[in-house]
């Protein structure tokens, strides 16, 4: 039983850690592409900025959903038999 809880803790850590890495890489790539596009066409900077912040929110939301799922498995795991 305790080895199952250890695997659940490991899985929750991996979900959170890999989700954070993916979100950071995604926001970094998106930010660099925004700067490139704004440098090429400065007149579109306001429209691009709006889209960039919308996408940043969606990327963060996907990460936070993963955190929520990991917390559910950590605190109310449906797979552990009692």
Give catalytic residues, as residue numbers. 60
Give the distance, in angstroms, between the CA of residue 49 and the centroid of all CA atoms in the same chain: 20
Q: How far apart are the first and last CA of the chain?
A: 9
Q: Quick check: 67 and 19 in contact, CB under 8 A?
A: yes
């Amino acid at each position: 039983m305790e080895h199952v809880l250890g695997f659940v803790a490991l899985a929750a850590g991996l979900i959170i850690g890999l989700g954070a890495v993916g979100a950071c890489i995604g926001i970094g790539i998106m930010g660099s592409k925004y700067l490139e596009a704004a440098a090429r066409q400065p007149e579109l900077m306001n429209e691009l900025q709006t889209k960039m912040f919308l996408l940043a929110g969606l990327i963060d939301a996907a990460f936070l959903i993963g955190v929520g799922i990991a917390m559910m498995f950590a605190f109310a795991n449906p797979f552990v038999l009692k």
